[in-house]
Chain A
Amino acid sequence: MRIPCPVCGPRSVSEFTYEGDATVTRPALDADADAWFAAVYQRANPRGPHSELWHHMGGCRSIIRVERDTGTHAITGASLVSPHEASE
């Protein structure tokens, strides 16, 4: 599997670290325990289109949002996550 890094171009999956479901957002610090439980532990885990984060550790070190099909590994999009978004 190759991931099309927006900075470096298509690179082997072995250069990247997987950071999981990109649709999960971190709750506000004062959010209740249920909101934290949902963000930390609960996943949709679909078979099919999946938005996910990859960290290009062995390359430009950018965090990338990749649109990939979990049934076929077909990748239909990859974009840089803005520093603001990544730190959220």
Chain B
Amino acid sequence: MRYSLSSLIANTLNGHKSWPVAWRKAEPRPAYDAIIVGGGGHGLATAYYLAKEHGLTNVAVLEKGWLASGNIGRNTTIIRSNYMLPGNTHFYEWSLKLWETLSRELNFNAMVSQRGVINLAHTPAQLDAYARRGNAMRLAGVDAELLDRAELARRVPGLDLSDGARFPVLGGICQPRGGTVRHDAVAWGYARAADRLGVDIIENCAVTGFTFDGDRVSGVETTRGAIAAKKVGVAVAGSTSEVMRLAGFDRLPIESHVLQAFVSEGLKPFLDTVVTFGAGHLYISQSDKGGLVFGGDIDGYNSYAQRGNLPVVEDVAATACAMFPSLSRLRLLRSWGGIMDMSMDGSPIIDRTPKPGLYLNAGWCYGGFKATPASGWCFAHTIAKDEPHPLNAAFSLDRFRTGALLDERGAGATPRLH
């Protein structure tokens, strides 16, 4: 059933008793043309674009838990394309363009809200760096505008813009087309749209091994039996090292780290844009339910525990109060963690692997949510055509060997700093 005003009215009159299921509970079949491991945002988007753009519908998505139980349902929902290196800029801008039409494309309201993303500057040097970044973005066709203090005061009324602030704010840069998207609706929307094109979405099915015919992949072993496939794409975010080890890749340029997120009790409208702190690390927005949604740094050590430690909670809360002193008595409602696949240069990998038929999508660090549409789109292309699309050509697995790194932050091979 297509979701529409008339289907909403009909179902309302009917007491909402006859909505069809959004996607089938598929049982694994013995063989597929392609298998995607991981039912997060990237895996589901990949399956959708394989079916939609490449006509490959004999596809299964295998998810170890339930749909959207990983990072796609845990992130702080920020989207943007304010990058500086060409290999990143065009990819993330393509993603933002796909976000702009996503709800119509999927016939599912993903609540894409282009409320702007503002980065604060606290030193003249930082403001200069933002001007440079903004110019680089505009040259690449991306929107950016510099903001002075008066404009910041108008757009972000709660912000401490006084000279007495711990790190006085001098200005900022805004990407007006950036914003937020309801993250679980992205997973559900892609799942429903892929299902309608014939893709099997198989939950509670963990991949436990890979089978090969010589070097070429021939399928996977799972907790629900062996499944044959001509092509297998792995998109398991924080579990990348563990899953790829099953395929014989003992070491990868990735470390898994925990990132926490926080949501406060509900407030009346307080903040209608996304703001990030420039003298530390904090990003904050307000959800439609009124809660403030925010996060900061990763905890900073290898972790597969989907919960973090208290020093980061304290640090993030202190930063939020430094920016918005009026929040000091606000209560936290919830906090949680997700496992990030931190790459060695802070940029992702979407590529073939040395094993024919096996493809890898990983290394998303903090920023993989905004990449979801383009990541799926490019990974689908890479799998279907057995070669990367120009948009993801820079995200190669062997760039760490060849030296063609994409280190946007200039932090070197120190995953905890990206």
Contacts and interface: CB of A to CB of B under 8 A. Distances in A.
Query: Are A and B associated in one complex?
Result: yes
A41 B253 contact: yes
Nearest to A37: B401
B251 interface: yes
Given A41-B253, A44-B241, 6 more contacts: A20-B416, A42-B400, A45-B242, A47-B242, A47-B256, A70-B302
Contact of B413 (A12, A33, A41): A41
A46 interface: yes
Contacts of A21: 302
Contacts of A33: 401
A67 interface: no
Contacts of B284: none
Q: Chain B interface secondary structure, helix, strand, loop or mixed? A: mixed
B413 A52 contact: no
B256 A1 contact: no
A60 interface: no
B305 A43 contact: no
20 contacts: A1-B309, A13-B301, A13-B309, A18-B300, A18-B301, A20-B255, A20-B302, A37-B400, A40-B344, A40-B400, A43-B253, A44-B250, A45-B241, A45-B242, A45-B251, A45-B302, A47-B239, A70-B256, A70-B304, A73-B305
B310 to A, nearest CB: 9
Interface string A24-59: 000000000110011011111111001010000000
A82 interface: no
B405 to A, nearest CB: 9
A52 B301 contact: yes
A71 interface: yes
Contact of A40 (B239, B256, B302, B413): B413
B398 to A, nearest CB: 9
A72 interface: yes
Contact of B400 (A1, A41, A46): A41
Interface in B71-93: none
Nearest to A73: B305
Max count, chain B CB within 10 A of own CB: residue among A34, A43, A68, A71: A43
A41 B344 contact: yes
A45 B301 contact: no
B311 A71 contact: no
Interface of A: 1, 12-14, 18, 20-21, 33-34, 37-38, 40-47, 50, 52, 68, 70-73
Contacts of B255: 20, 43, 45
A70 B242 CA distance: 12
A18 B342 CA distance: 15
Contacts of A50: 302
A40 B400 CA distance: 9
A34 B401 CA distance: 7
A12 B302 contact: no
Contact of A45 (B254, B300, B305, B401): B254
Contacts of B300: 18
B319 to A, nearest CB: 15
A68 B302 CA distance: 10
Interface in B177-206: none
Contacts of A43: 241, 251-255
Nearest to A71: B304
A32 B239 CA distance: 30
A37 B241 CA distance: 17
B303 interface: yes
Nearest to B302: A70
